[in-house]
Amino acid sequence: MLGTQIKDVILKPDAPSSLLLDKHADYIAAYGSKKDDYEYTLSEYLRMSGIYWGLTVMDLMGQLDRMNLQEIIDFIKACQHDCGGFSASIGHDPHLLYTLSAVQILCLYDSLHAIDVDKVVEYVKGLQQEDGSFAGDKWGEIDTRFSFCAVATLALLGKMEMINVDRAVEFVLSCMNFDGGFGCRPGSESHAGQIYCCTGFLSLTGQLHQLNADLLGWWLCERQLPSGGLNGRPEKLPDVCYSWWVLASLKIIGRIHWIDKSRLRQFILACQDEETGGFADRPGDMVDPFHTLFGVAGLSLLGEEQVKAVNPVLCMPEDVLQRIGLQPDLLS
Amino acid sequence: MHGRVKVKTTAQQEEEKRKEREKKLKIYVAARDACFSKRKEGVCDDEALQLTQQLLSSNPDFATLWNYRREILMHLETVKDRDEMQNIYEAELSFLEACLKVNPKSYGSWHHRGWVSARLPRPDWARELSLCDRCLSLDDRNFHCWDYRRMVVKVSGVPVDQELEFSDRLIGSNFSNYSSWHYRSTLLPLLHPQTPEAGQEPPHASSPRGPQSHRVCEEQLLKEYELVQNAFFTDPNDQSAWFYYRWLLGRAEREETVSCVYVSREDERVAVAFSRPVNICDLPPGTINDVANEHNLTVHWTGSHTHRDCALYTGRVESWCRDTATDQELFRSELSVEKTSVLQSELQSVKQLQELEPLNKWCLLTIILLMRALDPLGYEKETLAHFQTLKQVDSMRSEYYSDLCSKFMIENTILKMEYAEVRVFSITDRNLTSLCHLDQLLLVTHINLSSNRLQRLPPQFAMLQCLEVLEADNNFLENLEGVYHLPRLQEVSLKNNSILSCRCSFRAQISVSSGTPVLGIGSFCDLCSYLAAYK
């Protein structure tokens, strides 16, 4: 009986099997120094997040000091608009996504004083809608990713009470599906990225008990494929970034032991590029800072000793959050 | 960023590629700079539309440019008439269609299309629905398209049953159809809610009302079973059907209710167990401690307009009122005769399928779930056997199956409590790896968890407010967290564990051993030094 073939990758026996931390640090340190790179220029629309990915992974590897603090702070300052929000880069429009990234970077550097914090709060508050949801910017796109961005930003600034938290929670819960997962908007299909945002949201708002952790945990642990890698939803290929979205979600809901850790670790390591450094979405593909962060962060959650402990809710080093005094709930 | 294969090339090929990219980059940067400077000057002309079009065609994720286009279009609305705007917006829709052909997964493109459709003087929702049809026929897992479809359906009032038929067609024709099953799960409760209201109009397929509203009336449910069964018998490896089936078998979250009220005269305390957490309330001293008095307590829960009564009689030191697990439909729904016979025949069918496909883990898990739905206690032995097989067939998830099995064994023990003592809870030698339903154990005075595989007693163990004796020998307990907040605890037995740390905070008779015979120890302080000596 010919049925559905399982979509997966096959790990080559000569795939990298040890963590090449120094190569990754060199890759990130050099990234973006060649400002005439085509890909780099085309991804300008997400630069603030790109910087957050690079700095966070460097910090996790204990090499943050190789990055140019002052240049970055100046860049961030130049990206704060009058409305209080931050854009991805100079000349671009403000958006919640890049506002969160900016605040996260400033926390890494303990430099929140460099920007107008009250204005940021005003910007975030202004994006909350009647039904509790958050628009990404003034153009009105609604997505649970933005609910996460909003509360994460405010949590880092210690100003969560400035929004209507109850309404925000109501909206996120209205996005819960039959399988215990969450999508972008009410009625949207469950997706690991959205699930990460919603479980992170519920952690920050103290509402994790509203989840059906057993049901959601099952859906999440079913993301693990024979190769050991994790996909984002059923019948999709594995991708190293899901080592973060899925794993962090499982950690938040107290069920990280439901996946096979050693098989996942093997997959993540296989996604390294021995030549260039960095991680790709899957073995043999092109590397980028996004997948590099989530590969390393995933390994941290799996207990990798060479990497600093990472917070599963905010994807930032635990020691940074300790300094701020932020300890989001986790289920046991 | 995703799915870009690294291709090995020669030095010459590298150089050619580099030159080409340099050229592309120059053009791109020139266009981008021109856009930005125009926008800075507040220009809203045709050239701006051209430039943004050029850039967005190859980079639709450049969100700021969609913003700029919207500003230009809004400006045009102030100087053009309705017909002109209709044409302009229709051209915009054509442009968007071209963008979506190249990149059907750009948030920016889909959002802009939604924005344009809403502003069209004469919207054409049929056209939008047809775009969704075509897009989904190419990739029926494109969630951007599904979300757009949901918006179109809502705004234009497409009837639910029409969309249900649509999902039928997709499920029938495509293998990768989790998205279609998901859509069904949102449509069914709208069309066939569990409690149909009189004179209700067929509802529009608007967004569902939240996680609690996934109940479906029984008649429709039984039809769905048939539909799903066809799917997984046709292709037993199609996981979406199995996920959907598990949802059909499951119950909606039980309503929040007060499941138990316990009163203690001695402690002058009332403990209330809700469907989940336990609330403890200390009464003012002297309120109920005189054993000569009778007291009637009522717990009002304003949140869900319920209340429970509990009478504390003269001469009694404690009292309680508690729904049994069955009353609460705690672990399974009441089954109608029809539903029971349907599930019985499904169990037989899936068992047959399992014999044909012994390595199919979905079959094994589903058999277990069906047994739970039909007769949890009667099928206990078979359930345990199936779990053993499942852990071998799907070893990556063996910890999940261990925890799930633990949950079911605990449920069975709670169910058995209805016929026996409600104050003794004993579940030994069951390979328990985790604890749950602790909110059901408020009244328990004696608990025996010996000879299992528990690594911890979680913080929720504090719900066992009446606990006097804890036996948990032969486990893998690493610490005594969870035991510290039990006010009545007198005896603890923890032979053969892996206890590494504890806090010295209260008195207890402890028997503990890492291989030596039982010792009586007076307090946790003694325990700490005893353990330290043994390291």
Q: Tell me the shortest Cα–Cα distance from B260 to chain A, in angstroms.
A: 20
**Is A181 inside a domain boundary?**
yes
What residues of chain B lie within 8 A of the CB of A93, using their CB? 63-64, 67
What are the tens digits of pLDDT across the range A284-332? 999 999 999 999 999 999 999 999 999 999 999 999 999 999 999 999 8
Neighbours of B4 (CB within 10 A): 13
**Is A36 inside a domain boundary?**
yes
Residue A254's region, left for phi above 0, alpha for psi from -120 to 50, else beta, is left
Give residue limits of the domains in chain B.
Answer: 19-177+188-192, 258-322, 424-534
Q: List the 275-304 stretch of B: residues with Cβ below 8 A of A.
A: 276-277
What are the tens digits of pLDDT across the range B321-337? 877 666 666 666 667 77
At residue A14 the predicted structure's pLDDT band, cuts being 50, 70 and 90, is very high
DSSP conformation letters of B353-420: HHHH-TT-HHHHHHHHHHHHHH-TTTTHHHHHHHHHHHHHHTGGGHHHHHHHHHHHHHHHHHHHHTTS
At residue B515 the predicted structure's pLDDT band, cuts being 50, 70 and 90, is very low
Burial B217-229 (b: 16+ CB within 10 A, else e): eeeebeebbebbb
Name the β-bridge partners of A280. Answer: A287
Q: What is the pLDDT of residue B197?
A: 41
> Given a cut of 70, is residue B499 above it in pLDDT?
yes
Please give the structure tokens belonging to residue A92: 């671009």
**Is A35 inside a domain boundary?**
yes
Alpha helices in A109-234 (DSSP H): 117-126, 144-157, 165-173, 192-204, 213-221
**Is A221 inside a domain boundary?**
yes
Q: Give the mean pLDDT of chain A.
A: 96
Least confident window among A207-211, A234-238, B40-44, B416-420: B416-420
Give the count of alpha carbons within 13 A of B99, CB side only.
27
Annotation: CATH topology of B424-534: 3.80.10
Please give the structure tokens belonging to residue A249: 């979600």
What residues of chain A lie within 8 A of the CB of B391, using their CB? none
> Given a cut of 50, is residue B534 above it in pLDDT?
no
Mean pLDDT throughout A202-214? 96
Q: State what percent of residues in chain B have pLDDT above 70.
A: 84
CA angle A45, B143, A210 (to 5 degrees): 95
Q: Report yes or no: B514 and B491 within 8 Å, Cβ to Cβ.
A: no
What are the tens digits of pLDDT across the range A152-183? 999 999 999 999 999 999 999 999 999 999 99
What are the tens digits of pLDDT across the range B98-135? 999 999 999 999 999 999 999 999 999 999 999 999 99
Domain that holds residue A163: 21-324
For B274, the enclosing helix (H) or strand (E) is strand B269-274
What residues of chain A lie within 8 A of the CB of B276, using their CB? 209
Rounded to whole angstroms, the maximal C-alpha distance in chain B is 100
What residues of chain A lie within 8 A of the CB of B146, using their CB? 188-189
Helix/strand/coil (H, E, C) string of B112-139? HHHHHHHHCCCCCHHHHHHHHHHHHHHC
Q: State what percent of residues in chain B have pLDDT above 90.
A: 54
| CB within 8 Å: A188 and B208 | no
**Is A329 inside a domain boundary?**
no
| CB within 8 Å: B182 and A221 | no
> Given a cut of 60, is residue B525 above it in pLDDT?
no
> Given a cut of 90, is residue A122 above it in pLDDT?
yes
At residue B196 the predicted structure's pLDDT band, cuts being 50, 70 and 90, is very low
Please give the C-alpha separations between residue A231 and each of A147, A192, B447, in angstroms, as whole numbers: 23, 8, 41
What residues of chain B lie within 8 A of the CB of A6, using their CB? 237
- Rounded Cα distance between B169 and B176, Å, is 13
* Number of domains chain A contains: 1
At residue B251 the predicted structure's pLDDT band, cuts being 50, 70 and 90, is low
**Is A10 inside a domain boundary?**
no
What residues of chain B lie within 8 A of the CB of A174, using their CB? 207-211
Mean pLDDT throughout A46-63? 98
Mean pLDDT throughout B4-19? 85
Q: What is the pLDDT of residue B279?
A: 73
| CB within 8 Å: B62 and A45 | yes
Q: State what percent of residues in chain A have pLDDT above 90.
A: 95
Q: Three-state SS for B21?
A: helix
Q: What is the pLDDT of residue B310?
A: 84
What's the CATH code of the domain at A234?
1.50.10.20
Q: Three-state SS for B65?
A: helix
Q: Answer yes or no: is the ipTM higher than 0.95.
A: yes
From the list A268, A286, A296, A270, the residue with the least C-alpha distance to A58 is: A296
User: Most A CBs within 10 Å: which of B62, B212, B396, B439, as the mutation test of the A interface?
Assistant: B396
The C-alpha R_g of chain A, in whole angstroms, comes to 19
Nearest to A187 among B208, B400, B460 (CB): B208
- Rounded Cα distance between A191 and A180, Å, is 11
Q: What is the pLDDT of residue B535?
A: 39
CATH number of B19-177+188-192: 1.25.40.120
CATH superfamily of the domain spanning B258-322: Rab geranylgeranyltransferase alpha-subunit, insert domain (2.60.40.1130)
From the list B189, B194, B187, the residue with the least C-alpha distance to B168 is: B187
| CB within 8 Å: A173 and B210 | yes
> Given a cut of 60, is residue B521 above it in pLDDT?
no
Q: Report yes or no: B314 and B291 within 8 Å, Cβ to Cβ.
A: yes
In the 8-state DSSP scheme, what is residue A135? B
What are the tens digits of pLDDT across the range B78-88? 999 999 999 99
Q: Report yes or no: B48 and B68 within 8 Å, Cβ to Cβ.
A: yes
Mean pLDDT throughout B238-254? 82
Nearest CA in chain B to A218: B400
Q: What is the pLDDT of residue B330?
A: 67
Report the DSSP pairing between strands B491-493 and B469-471: parallel
Nearest CA in chain A to B211: A176
Neighbours of B421 (CB within 10 A): 13
At residue B195 the predicted structure's pLDDT band, cuts being 50, 70 and 90, is low
Helix%, strand%, coil% for chain B, nearest 5: 50, 10, 35
Mean pLDDT throughout B186-200? 66
| CB within 8 Å: A45 and B61 | yes
B124 at interface of A, judged by CB pairs closer than 8 A: no
Mean pLDDT throughout A210-227? 97
B38 at interface of A, judged by CB pairs closer than 8 A: no
Q: Report yes or no: B502 and B527 within 8 Å, Cβ to Cβ.
A: yes
Residue type present at position A246:
V
Which of B325-334, B491-500, B525-534 has the highest mean predicted lDDT (pLDDT)?
A: B491-500
Q: Three-state SS for A277?
A: coil
What residues of chain B lie within 8 A of the CB of A260, using their CB? 395-397
Contacts of B430 (CB under 8 A, 6+ apart): B406, B409, B452
